[in-house]
Amino acid sequence: MRLQLNGAPIAAQAATLAELLDAYGFANAKVATAVNGKFVPATDRADYALSNGDQVEILAPMQGG
């Protein structure tokens, strides 16, 4: 399936958002996620099915001042 991940096109085999995070090394990371501009809480990622053409954003918290 073709997705946009943080603005870059990718080919992914992941069926869910949780599987995509795992495939890209974010499974245990504290990140925020959105699909097609809609926030997806961590508790919903395992059940959130991805579709061809989805735009996924993975955002890590920033530190500093």
Closest by CA to 36, choosing from 26, 21, 48, 18, is 48
In a domain, 27, yes or no: yes
In a domain, 30, yes or no: yes
In a domain, 9, yes or no: yes
Contact indicator for 32, 59 with CB cutoff of 8 Å: yes
Closest by CA to 2, choosing from 48, 55, 58, is 55
In a domain, 32, yes or no: yes
**How big is the CA angle at 47 (ends 37 and 49), to the nearest 5 degrees?**
55
Q: What is the pTM of this model?
A: 0.91
Q: 3-class DSSP state for residue 35?
A: strand
pLDDT at 7: 96
Segment 13-18 shows an average pLDDT of: 97
pLDDT at 16 over 90: yes
In a domain, 15, yes or no: yes
In a domain, 65, yes or no: no
Q: Which domain holds residue 52?
A: 2-59
In a domain, 64, yes or no: no
Number of domains, the chain: 1
What's the CATH number where 39 sits? 3.10.20.30
pLDDT at 62: 74
pLDDT at 61: 81
List pLDDT tens digits, range 17-63. 999 999 999 988 999 999 999 999 999 999 999 999 999 999 988 76
